[in-house]
Amino acid sequence: MKIGVVGAAGRMGRMLLAAVDAADGVEIAGGVEASGHPDLGKDLGELAELGTMGIALTSDAGAMFEDVDAVIDFTVPVVTEANAKLAANSGTVLVIGTTGMTEDQQHNVDQAASRTAIVQAANYSVGVNMLLGLVEQAARILPEIYDIEILDMHHHHKIDAPSGTALALGHAAAKGRNVNLEDVADKVRDGIIGPRKQGDIGFATLRGGDVAGEHTVMYAGPGERIEITHKASSREVFAIGAVRAALWATGQKPGLYSMKDVLGL
Ligand code: NAD
């Protein structure tokens, strides 16, 4: 199975090249970057420190989509939105890791998924996807007096906040409580904001250093506090999960799938 990587020179892109190279049944068939990127023309293998592969990094996403079976995209929302269209036109499987999509951008991804199989997940680690189930279950069992707070910490390059994973955990908690996250999310606190509203789901964001991704969901109740934490110590877990998703999605009917579908959870 031939796989192409968009954003191949990025932090996740390089990790994805290595994960594809290491996995059975898949091979790297292309890599693209933004036009003007300083690494254009470089060998993909050398980019990912895997030795020479004989495939150069290009900026021609359209040509790559025509040439491969699946594309993995961990870039920025505007690029992913455009690539969803390319995937639909070429019938290529698309695995999306990009977070921070606007409602309009997400709508266009949903539309593209009516024409090809797309897997989209805010987090491709097995651990976080298991956590989503635990968070939902805890929110269902614990009464509303247990305040739910979600904390994420990431490296200082991250551009969106709260993280896509924090929001996914928030959606899981809201589902457990049978409410819409949009109605109860409290994402910004500054100044004299008054007491916390019971039933809200609060978010806090920390950014710094080279942290690959850490999330804690707290249920702070009277006399006790439960915390569920996940810490990714390497981006490799996300890359391995994304390759697994690409293999799984090949042969699936058009549709928008999640990592829960891939893992059969
Ligand atoms: P990064 O900035 O290191 O990489 C993004 C890459 O996209 C850059 O190399 C950039 O040049 C490239 N790019 C920009 N415009 C492009 C274009 N037009 N065509 C091709 N490439 C283009 O960022 P990162 O840390 O690798 O993260 C990328 C995204 O993946 C973020 O949204 C992040 O939140 C998300 N992410 C998701 C998961 C997950 O498991 N779902 C895990 C980690 C990161």
Per-position pLDDT tens, the chain of length 265: 999 999 999 999 999 999 999 999 999 999 999 999 999 999 999 999 999 999 999 999 999 999 999 999 999 999 999 999 999 999 999 999 999 999 999 999 999 999 999 999 999 999 999 999 999 999 999 999 999 999 999 999 999 999 999 999 999 999 999 999 999 999 999 999 999 999 999 999 999 999 999 999 999 999 999 999 999 999 999 999 999 999 999 989 999 999 999 999 8
For atom 40 of ligand 1, the residue with the nearest CA is 123
| 217 CA from centroid of ligand 1 (Å) | 25
Name the CA dihedral angle for 81, 84, 88, 93, rounded to a multiple of 10 degrees.
Answer: -170
pTM of the model: 0.93
Catalytic (active-site) positions: 154, 158
Q: Are 92 and 68 in contact (CB under 8 A)?
A: yes
**Ligand 1 proximity of 75 Cβ (cutoff 6 Å):** yes
User: Roughly what angle, to the nearest 10 degrees, separates helices 126-141 and 164-176?
Assistant: 30
What is the distance in A from the centroid of ligand 1 to the CA of 147? 33
Distance CA 59, CA 56 (A): 10
- Residue 212 CB less than 6 A away from ligand 1: no
3-class SS of residue 14 = helix
Q: Other C-beta atoms within 10 Å of 199: how many?
A: 13
**243 within 8 A of 26, measured Cβ to Cβ:** yes
SS3 of residue 137 by DSSP: helix
Domains, the chain, in order of start with CATH, read 2-120+235-263 (3.40.50.720), 126-232 (3.30.360.10)
Residue 162 Cβ contacting ligand 1 at under 6 Å: no
